[in-house]
Amino acid sequence: MSTTGTTSVACPQCGAKSEVKVFKTVNVTTDRNFREQLLSGEMLHFTCPSCGHEAELRYPLLYNDINNKFMVYFVPDVDRDKVTDEALEKEYGDLAGIRRRLVGDYNELKEKIHIFESGLDDRVIEVVKAALKDIVQKRTGDTVTGGYLSKYSVSEDRIGFTFFVGENHEQFVQTTRLEIYDKSAAVAKAVKEDENDRSFRAVNREWARNALYQYKKSKV
């Protein structure tokens, strides 16, 4: 089941306060159309009843897809790589084999959904992304500020990412062959996982950097 609540939002334009419906949990196993509403941005869209100003809301939300065996906890601007939530643990703690992820950014949330729905391993994806990011940085001679999975095609034998380059965050697409994904699995596996850990963990650029470090260390 999905759960909702209400919160008071002050309009960034006119300052008027209004009560808006917010989602605490989005369960797409039972409410499939919520997936579309979240991915399209409709779920987080705010229209001020006083002045009509439109804005995007950001608040903590748990995305739940048990069929695809994953949960993503979206905590805007989270500054930790792990959160433990006792109430959530009580509710979902007995679910074994469910990947629990923590993201601090809406685009990251969408990327996780895309990755898991495609049957991919997000840890391996982060390792591939880190390697391609270095290539893009060399090719453009500029700083890459971020990137997300934007292509995965078995028939074309391609996996690719859209990166944001330089001050203006210009988009740069870099793809590679799928064998790179398979080869990167060994690096991702270098990070030891605790099967009993029920917390929500960040699997991102820092995670990939640590995985690469662990991998190199194990080869010495």
The residues binding Zn ion (CB under 5 A) are: 11, 13-14, 16, 48, 50-51, 53
In this complex, which beta carbon is closest to Zn ion, that of residue 15 or of residue 93?
15
CA 95 to chain CA mean position, Å: 20
Work out how close the CB of 20 gets to Zn ion at its nearest, in angstroms, rounded to a whole number. Answer: 12
Minimum distance between the CB of residue 44 and Zn ion, rounded to whole angstroms? 17
Identify which of 207, 210, 208, 199 has the alpha carbon closest to the alpha carbon of residue 83: 199
Cβ 10 to Zn ion shortest distance, Å: 9
CA nearest neighbour of 13 among 43, 48, 59, 44:
48
CB of 41 to Zn ion, least distance (A): 19
Closer CB to Zn ion, 17 or 209, in the complex: 17
CB of 106 to Zn ion, least distance (A): 22
Alpha helices in 118-161 (DSSP H): 122-140
For the stretch 31-62, what's the b/e string if a residue is b when 16 or more beta carbons lie within 10 angstroms of its beta carbon? eeebbebbeeeebbebebeeeeeeeebeeebb
Place of tokens 């779920």: 43
CB nearer to Zn ion: give 48 or 124. 48
| Residue number with CB closer to Zn ion (5 or 52) | 52
Toward Zn ion, which CB reaches closer, 48 or 159?
Answer: 48
- Widest distance between CA atoms in the chain: 64
Complex with Zn ion: residue 11 or 38, whichever CB lies closer:
11
List the structure tokens of 201: 């963990």
Q: Closest approach of Cβ 47 to Zn ion, in Å?
A: 9
- Distance between CA 118 and CA 98 in Å, rounded? 16
Q: How far is the CB of 46 from Zn ion (least distance, A)?
A: 10
The first and second tokens of residue 127, run together, are 């390792």
Which residue, 52 or 166, has its beta carbon nearer to Zn ion?
A: 52
At 162, list the tokens: 């859209």
* Rounded Cα–Cα distance for residues 202 and 111 (Å): 13
